[in-house]
Amino acid sequence: MKIPFNKPYLTGKEVDYIQEAVVSGKISGDGIFTQKCHGFFEERYRFKKTLLTTSCTDALEMTAILCDIKPGDEVIAPSYTFVSTVNAFVLRGAKIVFVDSGKSCPNIDASQIEELVTPKTKAIIPVHYAGIACEMDEILDIARRHNLFVIEDAAQAIDSFYKGEPLGSLGHFGTFSFHETKNIISGEGGMLAINDEDYISRAEIIREKGTNRTAFFRGEVDKYGWVDIGSSFLPSEIISAFLFAQAESLDYIQEKRKRLWALYYELLSPLEKAGYFDLPKIPPYATNNAHMLYIVCNNSNDREGLIKYLMKNDILAVFHYQSLHQSTYYSNLHDGRKLLNSDRYTECLVRLPLYYELNEDNIIFITSVINDFYNNSDVKW
Ligand SMILES: *Cc1c(COP(=O)(O)O)cnc(C)c1O
């Protein structure tokens, strides 16, 4: 039996809702299902305003426009993240000032941010890796004192919290992903959460190709036209219908994922105690949304051997980001500071299969294979 790394879960309602959207005759954006999704997320997480987008990448690109990022502006972000976190700002001419990850957590090391702020700095982009909150009080305090935007890349962080506050609701903006690898999905898909109401109407315009069509449909203007820059960032009703089925099932999806995550943690803890690797640490201010179960191996040889040994047993485990300051595109543009924790996660972090349809026997099997790898001297690697 093969255990994939991820398997998109369908609740069963997706096709019904898509059919409903198709039969209604309205399948372009901002129809009934988009409104239902907006209402769902605004009510549940107290976001001032949400706008569905076609991806988290698009939501990030919208924030770069909303922050008026111009060539020469500086944006502070972790190096250990997905390309889109910073590419959105590079598209507008920003220089990225990369910050190292923490020693015990891949999130941005908040204690290193302030010394990197210059008069050109415009924004800080904390990424809540694995859905575990960054140190938001510290980050928001720096931003307030230096008058910077905070954009939370909450792509992995749906239904996770910082001191009781939903992730994505703390900065000026929060961006979410519903890519098929996330906790709730729509194939491709995303959402922008806007927490400062001053930016709502411009966000609507940017999302609608730079036009005030959204205000027109609400009857606020009598014709619509080109009023700003923008692009086509809104998803069709087919995607929103799919997503609404997932949103309605969020509670039971989360409950199952958390149960699987806890079982992994329990079965892997003895190996961590024996010093073979590190498990994720959930700080007291953060919650776990069970987006990901990662382990940090002691070195890259261990990781390579472990991934191969799991593969031999038909289990697909995968590494994650390559430090962006070392990337082909950005290494020549980076200022040369060493970011050693980011490089360590690049070389040593491995993600284990975690998806709704995984069962407890699968996890008992996966963890026994890992145990074998470390404790059975017959395993040659
Ligand atoms: C998945 C992910 C993205 C990109 O999301 P898309 O919806 O695929 O554009 C951005 N940032 C992080 C941290 C992610 O995990």
pTM: 0.97
What DSSP designation does 321 have? -
Atom of ligand 1 nearest to the CA of 55: 7
Q: How far is the CA of 58 from the centre of ligand 1 (A)?
A: 10
Do 66 and 45 contact (CB within 8 A), yes or no? no
Q: How far is the CA of 84 from the centre of ligand 1 (A)?
A: 7
Q: How far is the CA of 266 from the centre of ligand 1 (A)?
A: 29
Residues 6+ apart with CB under 8 A from 47: 41, 166, 168, 169, 174, 193, 194, 195
Atom of ligand 1 nearest to the CA of 182: 1
Per-residue pLDDT of the chain (381 residues; tens, 9 = 90+): 699 999 999 999 999 999 999 999 999 999 999 999 999 999 999 999 999 999 999 999 999 999 999 999 999 999 999 999 999 999 999 999 999 999 999 999 999 999 999 999 999 999 999 999 999 999 999 999 999 999 999 999 999 999 999 999 999 999 999 999 999 999 999 999 999 999 999 999 999 999 999 999 999 999 999 999 999 999 999 999 999 999 999 999 999 999 999 999 999 999 999 999 999 999 999 999 999 999 999 999 999 999 999 999 999 999 999 999 999 999 999 999 999 999 999 999 999 999 999 999 999 999 999 999 999 866 655
Pocket lined around ligand 1, Cβ cut-off 6 Å: 55-57, 81-82, 84-85, 127, 153, 155-156, 177, 179, 190
Dihedrals φ, ψ of 298, to 5°? -75, -25
Nearest in space to 158 (alpha carbons), one of 49, 56, 260, 79: 56
Sorted by where each starts, the structural domains of the chain and their CATH numbers stand as 14-248 (3.40.640.10), 250-375 (3.90.1150.10)
What DSSP designation does 378 have? T
Q: How far is the CA of 59 from the centre of ligand 1 (A)?
A: 10
